[in-house]
Structure 1
Amino acid sequence: MGKRVRMSSAVILIASLLGTVGIAAAATADDAAGYGPRLEGFDYPHPVRTHAFASQRQQVEMAYLDVPPTGEANGRTALLLHGKNFCAATWEQTIAALADAGYRVIAPDQIGFCKSSKPDGYQYALAGLAHNTRGLLASLGIERSVVVGHSMGGMLAMRYALMYPDTVEHLALVGPIGLEDWKAEGVPYQPVEQVYASELRTSYDSIRDYQTTVYYAGEWRPEFERWARMQAGMYAGPGREVVAWHQALTFDMLMGQPVVYELPLLRVPTTLFIGVHDRTALGKGAAAPEVQAKLGDYRALGRRAAEEIPGAVLVEYEDLGHSPHIQDPARFHRDLLRELSR
């Protein structure tokens, strides 16, 4: 099937390249309010529920939001998968848009992230996170859903769709990472301890600088502040070592479990939403300059992925970065709802 490319017209902004192993700068107590290891102290926009289950010989809890339709119910469910530097709460405006359109919305925090358990000695795998997520939906009696994944959540959504294709009505990939194999492109291996040390240097200022450049195409607006403070608060609170360690472990997971080679195997309707100013690439800062220069070219990555995924549709945003659902929610949600309806 041929590919269709839809372009969102706007003035092109020039975003500078920025590569980091983890976002690094010296943290201070004044950077942000400090939150607990399970993001205690940060309020979500909807009641937080927990799915308790056994995993790897431990009892764990997966936090999630379950939001009913606020508009006329259409009988469909949307599963929202967050990115590595994001949480279920970051989907706040997307949840509202989907619920208003009649969807029941499920937005989990993956094990190891945000308000979910961060168990000792946990072996992280994308397939394992997908299995946990499928278990959550099964516990709620949900057989099929549209799956919307952002950043790392896009990489996880691809693995989920490969494992459970019969449960996926539509796959929406928003600035997904994993469209290139960073190791194969020349990013050197970094021991988990090295990544952990870098994560511990995370501060509000380093987060804001990185997000401005990569997430928001060089602009910063007051509405972005809450999410930067949320992330910074996890590193400023009593759980900073736990958070940093699990962030390092999940970095290692993503580096070692590419999905890019399996894109032609996807067999579900798929739409890619790509901000062409996105420059996300794991481990980029540790690579040689000539390697850094070629990583994270999302205009090229999005178009290549759309060619490889059977029947895929590509929506490009000429003026946006890694997080179009936060940077321009009205436009993104219009496009998302249109694609989910086809």
Structure 2
Amino acid sequence: MAHMTSSDKTSHTTESSLLPVDGEDVHVCQDGPRDAPALLLLHGSASSARSWDALVPLLAGSHRVIRIDLLGHGRSAKPDGDHYALPAQARRVAAVMDLLGVRRAVVAGHSSGGVAATALAELRPDLVTALVLINTGPGLDAFIASEQAAINPETWPPADEEIRRFASTGFSRPGYQVPDELLDEVRAMTYHSLTATMAATSAYLARRALPERLAELGKPLLVLFGADDRRWRSSSAGRYRVVPGARVELLPGLGHSPILEDPPRTAASLLTFTARHAARAD
């Protein structure tokens, strides 16, 4: 099932589809020319494909931009049970790409989306030509513990102010106005899908840190990291330099969500990288 949506703010049109994978619907958005190099964007925890909205118009002129709502998020299914382990999420993403007829792509992930991107590259190295990780912590020891309010299962779905407190460290400065779209995406999740997907990311990182995984894969790697990240220590980005040829860029003045805080600056770095590597993503 597919439908077309458009925005008055942009000249591009988004194709939105629900694709059946393993008996569950997975929501997919596509922008840009279908014969352009493929660029797959994977969102972070408690978010969705909509987190990339401001970036897509800057990328779709030169790429076939594909966004997927990972299971448990956005318009994708939110089943109960044990469906959210990272290898399983990666398998569904690969299945979607196969259904779309995409053989190779540059894959970019924001936050835990970068963990999913790594899992995809491990599962299907033939599909991933290069990786971009945006504020993706390399390991659990880089996480910055905070006293942010926890989401209470007894009051699910949470009120706006509760979500704003929960999401506050996702941006560079205290008092940042969390976009209403993000509130909607958290509220659309179930308590189980929220907690299970976050636990799955922690479990994957606990088994092995990302730099060691990526060093073995040998894929071109760009790491973008807001220098003022309040969730992951920005200094930990340097650990990715163990990956041969990895490029690590700190973004001054930005926090955990450069894709929302400064889309043009984020897109500029991403496009410079894909210009070198997207030619093979046919």
Q: TM-score, normalised by structure 2?
A: 0.82
Structure 2 CA distance for aligned equivalents of residues 212 and 185 of structure 1: 15
Greater RCO structure (CA 8 Å; 6+ sep): 1
1:163 to 83, 108, 123: 123
| Structure 1 unmatched runs, 5+ | 1-42, 188-193, 235-239, 281-295
Describe the shift of the 1:142–1:328 C-alpha distance in structure 2 as closer, same or farther (beyond 3 A): same
Matched, 1:66 2:35: no
Matches within 5 A, 1:72-111: 75-100=36-61, 102-111=62-71
Kindly state the Cα deviation for residue 211 of structure 1 after the two structures are TM-superposed. Answer: 4.0
Q: Which amino acid aligns with 2:31?
A: V
TM-superposed deviation, 1:275: 0.4
Q: CA deviation at 1:196?
A: 6.7
Alignment of 1:328-339 (within 5 A): 328-339=262-273
- Name the CA distance, whole Å, in 1 between partners of 2:119 and 2:213: 9
Q: 2:140 aligns with which of 181, 204, 208?
A: 181
The correspondence for 1:49, drawn from 7, 10, 17, is 17
Partner secondary structure for residue 44 of structure 2: coil
SS of the equivalent of 2:218 reads: coil
Q: How many residues align?
A: 258
Q: Percent of aligned positions with the same letter in both sequences? A: 26
1:254 matches 2:201: yes
Counterpart of 2:108 (choices 119, 137, 148) is 148
CA distance in 2, matches of 1:44, 1:153: 25
Q: Distance in 1 between matches of 2:17 and 2:243?
A: 35
SS in 2 for 1:272: strand
> Distance between the aligned counterparts of 1:211 and 1:268, measured in 2?
32
Matching of residue 272 in structure 1 with residue 232 in structure 2: no
1:31-57 Cα distance to aligned partner (Å, 9 max, x none): xxxxxxxxxxxx996342011132xxx
Letter matched to residue 88 of structure 2: G
Please state how far the C-alpha of 1:170 moved relative to its aligned partner: 1.8
Cross-structure match for 2:233:
297
What residue ranges of structure 2 are gaps of 5+ in the alignment?
8-13, 277-282
Superposed CA offset, 1:15-42 (max 9, x none): xxxxxxxxxxxxxxxxxxxxxxxxxxxx
Indicate the residue corresponding to 2:255 in structure 1: 321
How far did residue 111 of structure 1 move?
1.1
Q: CA RMSD in A?
A: 2.7
TM-score by length of 1: 0.68
Answer yes or no: is the 8 Å Cα contact 1:217–1:278 preserved in 2.
no
